[in-house]
């Protein structure tokens, strides 16, 4: 019983370490990722306006710009789960 408990605690520590360590990112990385996404959305909005498309395309760019990080987070979360399995 003691061996199983020790194995459980070691597994718990290994799985929690990755998640806790991954959340402690450097502040400049957070700023760079936010500004990078913002500048990408801005570039596409100006590109669509230059091409003469309607304003609905600007809305789609903003929607896609907000949804892309969410989908990438889900993708990386699934990949990490498969890695640990």
Per-residue pLDDT of the chain (85 residues; tens, 9 = 90+): 888 899 999 998 888 887 777 777 777 777 887 888 888 888 888 988 898 887 788 888 888 888 887 888 888 888 888 888 7
Enumerate the domain spans of the chain: 2-84
SS3 85: coil
Tell me whether residue 40 is exposed, middle or buried, using C-beta atoms within 10 angstroms of its C-beta: 0 to 12, 13 to 18, 19 or more. Answer: middle
Helices 2-23, 55-84: axis angle to 10 degrees equals: 150
């Amino acid at each position: 019983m003691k061996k199983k408990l020790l194995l459980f605690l070691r597994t718990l520590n290994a799985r929690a370490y990755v998640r806790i360590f991954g959340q402690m990112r450097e502040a400049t990385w957070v700023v760079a990722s936010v500004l990078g996404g913002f500048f990408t959305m801005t570039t596409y909005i100006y590109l669509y306006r230059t091409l003469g498309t309607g304003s609905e395309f600007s809305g789609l760019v903003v929607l896609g710009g907000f949804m892309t990080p969410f989908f990438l987070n889900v993708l990386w979360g699934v990949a990490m789960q498969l890695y640990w399995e």
